[in-house]
Amino acid sequence: MLIFLDTPEIEPLKAGHATGLVDGVTTNPSLIAKSGRDFKEVIAEICEFISGPVSAEVAAIDAPGMIKEGKVLAAIADNVVVKLPLTIDGLKACHALTQEGIDTNVTLCFSAAQALLAAKAGASFISPFIGRLDDLGQDGMELIHDIRDIYDNYGYTTKVLAASIRSAAHVKQSAMAGADAATIPPKIFDALYNHPLTDKGLADFIKDWQKTGQSIL
């Protein structure tokens, strides 16, 4: 499963990139606004060291506007993926941009029917929001299963990108459900490899090794 970091913050992205485990990045207008930086400059800087997909979202809400903005964003770097909302205008823009060879990420997906339409429009990625469904008392993971089944039934190549990830358990469950990728905040990425038993075991090994007085070098 591909792992994307869901942040526009450069330092956490560089730290994640240094592990060799991060495959891409997702951003949105809300995250960029918090950084206080110029949107296009942030995307360009990220693309300088992240070679995988970098999602950059349009601000327009009408199809012609999304198409124009999408072309501007796609011109920033070859690995930019234009992020579009799952509205009828977003689907129109997705189809138009796909026809021009521009990769797209259709976001704010909350139903399998929406995901079906995104695939038909040619989306490169579909982003179902797991956590937000869970917040409403629904089973967000069930949506991942449903989308996976539909895409496999018809051979759609749109990648399922699990979003609104709230925990390491969400990442595990998404992988088990067949998601192609998950986009996660840096703190959740850290939680994937941190475990108290790992820390305890390592401390015990170091203590025992030191008692031997040996050196590998």
User: Half-sphere exposure of 50 toward its Cβ, with a 13 Å CA cutoff?
Assistant: 34
Active site residues: 83
What's the pLDDT score for residue 33?
80
Token pair 């475990």: residue? 195
Rounded Cα distance between 48 and 18, Å, is: 14
Average pLDDT over the chain reads: 95
In the predicted model, residues of the chain with pLDDT beneath 70 are none
DSSP 21-42: ---EEE--HHHHHHHTS-HHHH
Rounded Cα distance between 23 and 125, Å, is: 14
